[in-house]
Structure 1
């Protein structure tokens, strides 16, 4: 208590008792004196700027040639107004004044801001700058859509386009959209390579036809609004051409060696210091994939080969240049090598889902490989004690676990989660150092499952009730939840739930003595005999309903025992 008071800057005598209606606590009352805007604003602005999530700062020299400042880019002007009043703020080596700057080429170089309310209007009309990011983004999006429509094309994936739109909107001050083109010969290269080159390196928007095929056209978002954009378009076309040529070169070079021929090279690629090379990991994934395939009557041999070849595209020049193409290029190269089409598709799908809400693998073999890959990651890292802690999850194991759960649930896979974990850990026997890996991983899955179900909109009490018992096979989990939800609305539900809690408490007090057959000779009272008779009557019906996965019927049968349960607890005192 004394230490706590000291942290608040108070003596123990300054504390007082306060009752909040539930409990009495010690509190310290302190009045913080107010500060004027002039006194407090500078520190607030400085903190806001310093807290910006800038991954890489630029260091530059100020105009005096003496001082240096670190910021994302050189700041040239600082205007801080409250209404019409200029506030004395110093930041980034600048002192606030009433002058700002417009567009470098198309706006006034020096703009006088007479009032804070006029800032946006002055920048727009005199500076050729749209200050509001949302307005700027909306204008650029409208122009992009109009250009695409005029070419009878579209921008492709909404999510990717939205991310790129966000980025380019932050790079320009108003934004004008122009259309460029490239040679049709480049379309011989897998379109994902060209798309990534244009989007990542050049910030262009590729265009697609109605069949999702890439067109030899792209849209440019420029910071210059001009009547004749030919120079802008020609310049961008010249810049993108060597980029696309590089992609074509990588594609041709990679085809000189098959994926199978690259397998020995995986031995030289370290996956994790405690888990060995990518070659060793591929063997573990192959073992898991073969087991999963055998459970679902799939080709275990094909699953094994898919797993062994899955990571070989990491050694290609294309994936070395564009890591985001891993798996995608593996599919192309597998088809070129003459591998089975199902195997090639599985290689492309092995990383799915990559993030929350991402698509799942569509093919059976792709699902097997994706499941095996994520399980190996989880089992491997749990085996060496690399568990997530608090908000630290450097290997994204929560995301991997969610992917496993989504595949089991949404693809309705009749697989036992404990058996999957055992299968994954078997290949790690010589490397495992964390003795409780299996139990810890099962708890981890249960925790992630509870979070997932709540995010799906299921009530917390239903989720807790369902997960109170182990759920080894998840493929019918939603049906169980629906049955439990329907039962919870019945009149008998609350009474049986209360009785169940009482029974659970009584059994926990008995410890190990709760196991074993019922001694009917001990049953003397009418309420005891009536309850036992009802249990004997319902037991075979409940067992049959459970065997047939008739969850609603199980709850209905349990509800039939309500009168006997209620009478038992009213009449019998259990010691």
Structure 2
């Protein structure tokens, strides 16, 4: 399409206030789906410049270079097999004539039909020119597809103006704008017909409606006449700028929260950041409580000092800009005060009862229908935590972990956590300190849910690591043990996250614990409640580990080579991977990996069991004698390095075997006729195979 045939296109749907948490996704989906449909119809190029709009009351898109009509397309249409198309005399059959008529062709088209091979037989084809869609046709189809595919969180049903018809959409829609340059495109949606009239800010627009001159003037007219920043990204950037500016005036910093920013951006069309404050007395309440109530309930941005401590000042993103903002500021300060007072009341009330006194209350809190109450769960977590601490060989740790595990869930029956479930663990830490339990136990209680998400910190001390491990293992073993296994995208108990948490703690904290040992410690805590799920849980954890390692940049070959050995000490795996990567860079690596694969295949084909030993007296060839001697030399040095944990040097020591291995396969027939000689040579290869595969299965590196 030539430049003179195209104009810029604007499509906008004006609605009642859209759900703020969903607005960003709705805006992105609206523009992406609509433009993709226009591209499929040939009305716009693949590289067209697209600008998406999404504000509380509108979804829209501006697309550059949209054609008024798509180019005609040549299309070859298959008709039917040639054997069916003609009778014995070679005349067109009634079936052929009927098919041609359905496509708009008469009998005169028969001579121009093409015969082409189609599988085993010939078929007839006709060349057609399909007229390109007009913009009105293509845009109507695009709008219909877009509205049908929008990721609407919850659909509303509402009546149209006629009082009879009803429509289903995320919110009632009031206007549809569709402009190709300055021309209205005759399309409709949700009972609306497109025109050029839109609406601005509810309170601050210069007039009730705005007549858009052309597609390119839309954003500027909305801003100047309607007091609306229509673009989500532009509005968000303006909020960020104003937050930083207002905070800097106080010498403070606003809390960083992308989800809150997106939600607030979905609430305002003309952001105006104002600084407010509350009474200093409220700062005696844990800052996590105050921050959460301000963010979750009021959508405010708390301000922090240079040390990251909460101050009594906060920022509000208002949707109006009065000349005197004092009433807006005072209103927000008045609204937040009862919320903070509630948090203070909960905190004061909760501290009247110790965590230990709350533990019996967990027997009344249901955990799972098949696994009992939270109280029963705590008993299992304690048993597992004590067993893990004992496995680590620290008697003091056993007592610390047991106390932390006993009290870790007690804050679930406090008023604060009842109001703010997100604070579970955090409040337990505060109440433990108030009870005089000391930092080790308090930190362990607070941290036992960690790591809660990718990139989250690990528990700060060993007691916390032990209780966190016990808690996650109890969840994994218990739920797998009753058949609650994740399937596809469904993982209601976040078992994948729990598995990744176990992996991270074992690896990053370098805990000297084997996975199979941990699972063996966890299963007895359930008694007869479950069927032993150790094999399934182990496989599940290793699969999560493999995926995590690939995401960290290790190749599939490297990961497979290490995990193929069934390594149970997960803390060793990063060093093994680095060793494999260093080995793979050696000039001898490819040949040794190929030889290792060949050896594995030879041993696999043996009908008799093969022991990793050989008798030098039965060697008949110099090459096998030399290999046996070199294997012994390399094994001694490689084993010393392996036991010292120097996996890289241990693997590199294998490079000395390349020449004797190549010589062996060139000069020696493994499957000798003499069964003793054959068994001896297989024993030599089994010994070599064991020496080569202590760090990783090197055959997995062979392409």
Map of 1:387 onto structure 2 = 485
- Post-superposition Cα deviations, 1:85-110, rounded to whole Å, max 9, x if no partner, equal 32233323322221100111111311
Select between 347-356 and 528-537 the one with higher mean Cα deviation: 528-537
Match of 1:445 among 532, 541, 556: 541
User: In 1, distance between residues paired with 2:446 and 2:117?
Assistant: 65
Map of 2:346 onto structure 1 = 250
User: In 2, distance between residues paired with 1:515 and 1:31?
Assistant: 73
Matched, 1:124 2:223: yes
1:512: how far off?
A: 6.0
Match of 2:428 among 330, 339, 352: 330
- Post-superposition Cα deviations, 1:47-76, rounded to whole Å, max 9, x if no partner, equal 333433333344444444444444443322
- Counterpart secondary structure, 2:402: helix
- Post-superposition Cα deviations, 1:217-273, rounded to whole Å, max 9, x if no partner, equal 110001112221011111111111111111122222222322111111111111111
1:300: how far off?
A: 0.6
2:79–2:126 Cα contact (<8 Å) kept: no
- Post-superposition Cα deviations, 1:513-556, rounded to whole Å, max 9, x if no partner, equal 12353344543222222212222232222222211112122112
User: In 2, distance between residues paired with 1:15 and 1:38?
Assistant: 39
2:443–2:460 Cα contact (<8 Å) kept: no
- Post-superposition Cα deviations, 1:422-476, rounded to whole Å, max 9, x if no partner, equal 112221231123x5x2112111111111111111112222111111211111223
Question: Alpha carbons of 1:499 and 1:17: their partners in 2 closer, same or farther (altered >3 Å)?
Answer: farther
Matched, 1:152 2:251: yes
Map of 2:97 onto structure 1 = none
- Post-superposition Cα deviations, 1:312-368, rounded to whole Å, max 9, x if no partner, equal 111111111111011111111111222222111111111111111222222222222
The structure with the larger Rg is: 2
Question: Alpha carbons of 1:181 and 1:66: their partners in 2 closer, same or farther (altered >3 Å)?
Answer: farther
- Counterpart secondary structure, 1:461: helix
Match of 2:588 among 492, 504, 509: 492
User: In 1, distance between residues paired with 2:148 and 2:427?
Assistant: 41
- Counterpart secondary structure, 1:55: coil
1:511: how far off?
A: 5.8
- Post-superposition Cα deviations, 1:475-503, rounded to whole Å, max 9, x if no partner, equal 23222222221111111111100000001
Q: Structure 1: 5+ residue runs without aligned partners?
A: 1-8, 19-27
User: In 2, distance between residues paired with 1:568 and 1:15?
Assistant: 56
- Counterpart secondary structure, 1:354: coil
1:72-471 → structure 2 map (5 Å cutoff): 72-107=170-205, 108-156=207-255, 158=256, 161-296=257-392, 297=394, 298-433=396-531, 435=532, 437-471=533-567
User: In 2, distance between residues paired with 1:503 and 1:228?
Assistant: 84
Matched, 1:550 2:646: yes
Question: Alpha carbons of 1:29 and 1:225: their partners in 2 closer, same or farther (altered >3 Å)?
Answer: farther
Select between 470-479 and 399-408 the one with higher mean Cα deviation: 470-479
Question: Alpha carbons of 1:10 and 1:48: their partners in 2 closer, same or farther (altered >3 Å)?
Answer: farther
User: In 1, distance between residues paired with 2:500 and 2:421?
Assistant: 23
Question: Alpha carbons of 1:16 and 1:449: their partners in 2 closer, same or farther (altered >3 Å)?
Answer: farther
Map of 1:483 onto structure 2 = 579
User: In 2, distance between residues paired with 1:70 and 1:267?
Assistant: 46
User: In 1, distance between residues paired with 2:150 and 2:356?
Assistant: 47
Select between 142-151 and 249-258 the one with higher mean Cα deviation: 249-258
User: In 2, distance between residues paired with 1:96 and 1:131?
Assistant: 19
Question: Alpha carbons of 1:525 and 1:454: their partners in 2 closer, same or farther (altered >3 Å)?
Answer: same
- Counterpart secondary structure, 1:299: helix
- Counterpart secondary structure, 2:311: strand
1:147: how far off?
A: 0.7
Select between 163-172 and 521-530 the one with higher mean Cα deviation: 521-530
1:383–1:428 Cα contact (<8 Å) kept: no
Question: Alpha carbons of 1:226 and 1:30: their partners in 2 closer, same or farther (altered >3 Å)?
Answer: farther
User: In 2, distance between residues paired with 1:451 and 1:136?
Assistant: 37
Number of residues paired by the alignment?
Answer: 553
Map of 2:655 onto structure 1 = 559
Map of 1:48 onto structure 2 = 146
Select between 562-571 and 245-254 the one with higher mean Cα deviation: 245-254
User: In 2, distance between residues paired with 1:498 and 1:525?
Assistant: 23
Q: Which has the higher strand share?
A: 2
TM-score normalized with structure 1 length: 0.91
User: In 2, distance between residues paired with 1:65 and 1:187?
Assistant: 54
User: In 1, distance between residues paired with 2:128 and 2:347?
Assistant: 69
User: In 2, distance between residues paired with 1:400 and 1:51?
Assistant: 33
- Post-superposition Cα deviations, 1:356-386, rounded to whole Å, max 9, x if no partner, equal 1222222222222222211111111111122
Higher RCO (CA < 8 A, seq sep 6+): 2
